[in-house]
Structure 1
């Protein structure tokens, strides 16, 4: 299978692992308070420790809970006990066979946005970064993720919320129908970053 024909989720995993390996464990990321070592440990624990998933899931909803503290403790244990290169190698190799995140369909649904977002968290914290030029097919896949994430971001703008693709004329998705509508425009990857709360690095226009 050529690089271009590999699923986006697999390419994002490989490129993110390459970047984390090249940056080493102490580089900054756009995740507040996290280095690249924190980010790598988070991604590995997420795939390999089922007992971490409930805490990570409620954290995504903005809920602090004892389960979340346990998930972060597992991440810290891995980060402090294993060399960065080993943690990145586990990320690169993917989840174990018994993990549901190893199922191709579920991996595509759950991991594509996760890897794309965290790939940019690592990239855009470094000097001189520029947006990636992604193929149309990749942007189409990320568009669906951006729409899904935006449903949780409606409270961040006054009135309703619309997403508009800047790379495809006329493609608009109404997320909420309150008035007046706020329109956030950009390429799907940028809209996904904005919808995930990364206002400071997402290249979007809000009107």
Structure 2
């Protein structure tokens, strides 16, 4: 099977190594060292990552993740590059592809697009198709807080109604699947997506909270 998630992981780690620990990312408040620590904790430290969901443990997660970020950066990136430990189901290729493709694609672009002079990559068709399939699965969750209807259009690939309107009309989002994924995950300022609809509906969509947060 094609392992796009694994490829994005390796490309991200290449970027992390090249840029060093203090380069900016699109993740607010995080440099490259903080992003690497997050990725390691997410897969390798469930005792800490539970703090993302349990408020009483959030402080411990933040302290330990910060400690990891201030440690040996090269070793940290190597841990991320090596993938999930064997006890983690995402160490299995099919689970990894399902669970990690969007995670590693988005964070790869978080690093790339925070640097001056970035341009979108020329992605292969099969990766765009994989991102489109993932976006269709996740779209209702990603756009749940948007008060408008949302229709996703990937020219030459497909069309998907992500959400019916609540208080407003419908906005059509048109772009390559990769760009639509980035917008859906709250990276609208760095996503090459066309928005079609009434001005007040577009403004309402732009002001809504997108993604998992």
Query: Shorter-chain TM-score: what band?
Result: 0.7 to 0.9
Q: Is this contact kept in 1: 2:3–2:93, CA < 8 A?
A: no
SS where residue 200 of structure 1 aligns? helix
SS where residue 161 of structure 2 aligns? strand
Q: Deviations over 1:16-66 (max 9, x none)?
A: 00000000000000111100000011101111001233333x4xxxxx823
Q: Does 1:78 align with 2:74?
A: no
Q: Deviations over 1:60-88 (max 9, x none)?
A: xxxx82333333333112112x3111101
Quote the Cα distance in structure 2 between the aligned partners of 1:34 and 1:132.
Answer: 23
Quote the Cα distance in structure 1 between the aligned partners of 2:89 and 2:62.
Answer: 21
Aligned to 1:49: 45
SS where residue 188 of structure 2 aligns? coil
- In structure 2, the CA distance between the partners of 1:44 and 1:156, relative to structure 1 (3 Å rule), is same
**Gaps in structure 2 of 5+ consecutive residues:** 197-213
2:127 to 122, 138, 141: 138
Q: Does 1:177 align with 2:164?
A: yes
Aligned to 1:89: 78
Q: Does 1:153 align with 2:149?
A: no
Q: RMSD of aligned C-alpha atoms?
A: 1.8
Using the TM superposition, give the Cα deviation of residue 6 of structure 1 relative to its aligned residue in structure 2, in angstroms.
Answer: 4.8
Aligned to 2:16: 20
**Gaps in structure 1 of 5+ consecutive residues:** 59-63
SS where residue 143 of structure 1 aligns? helix
State the number of aligned residues: 194
Moved over 6 A (4+): none
Quote the Cα distance in structure 2 between the aligned partners of 1:161 and 1:55.
Answer: 32
